[in-house]
Homo-oligomer: A and B are copies of this chain.
Amino acid sequence: MTDEQDTVDGRKLRGQRRRAQIIEATLTIVRRDGAAGVTHRTVAKEAGITTSLTLYYFATLDDLLVAALTSVTNAYTRRIRQLIDTEGDPLDGLARLIAESAGPGRERALAERELSTLAARRPALRPAARSWRDNVAELAQTQTDDPDAIEAFVALCDGLCAAILLDDHDADPDHIRAVLSKALLGTNR
């Protein structure tokens, strides 16, 4: 939003900063109007810049969508990796992450799902779309060695998010935690 420090570290950095600004504006659009609302014009307007500028940084809409999706998934990757690396209970952390889809994280989760669905059409988006699943699988791998259980666990997490998004009902982290544990370890605890 604020552009006061454009010239801090020279030219190159300013460009990267612009990129980040444009990506953020894109995500704002996706959250508000869905992926279909993303156009060079709407993004430029949201960012308060000219249309040509978004085109300068992202030659095609695909480039822009890929960058936006990557940005979202990167945020999730960081959080899940944190869950794996820290001492706490990973399943509990993941359950809370999933439960967020019903609350303040709804828009972000929705943005991720919209862009993932888009990935089925646009191959360029696929690697980014897969990263959420890969990360969840990695987390599951710290709990069990059974590949079938891991596969089911990943699918379960995805389905739970989808259910929360579609039904728009409240989500109880403890309940989700119990369901996850049952699926992965065969026990509720």
A158 proximal to B (CB < 8 A): yes
Q: With A158-B163, A162-B155 in contact, is A110–B114 under 8 Å at CB?
A: no
Copies of this protein, total: 2
Give the contact-size bracket for chain A. 35 or more
- Contact string, A139-150, partner B, CB cutoff 8 A, digits 1/0? 000000000100
**Residue from the list B117, B133, B152, B186 in contact with A179, Cβ < 8 A:** B152
What's the least CB distance linking A114 to chain B, in Å? 6
A55 proximal to B (CB < 8 A): no
Q: With A156-B156, A158-B158, A159-B154 in contact, is A166–B110 under 8 Å at CB?
A: no
Interface SS of chain A: helix
Q: Which residues of A approach B to under 8 Å, CB–CB?
A: 33-34, 36, 110, 113-114, 116-121, 126, 129-130, 133, 148, 151-152, 154-160, 162-163, 165-167, 175, 178-179, 182-183, 186
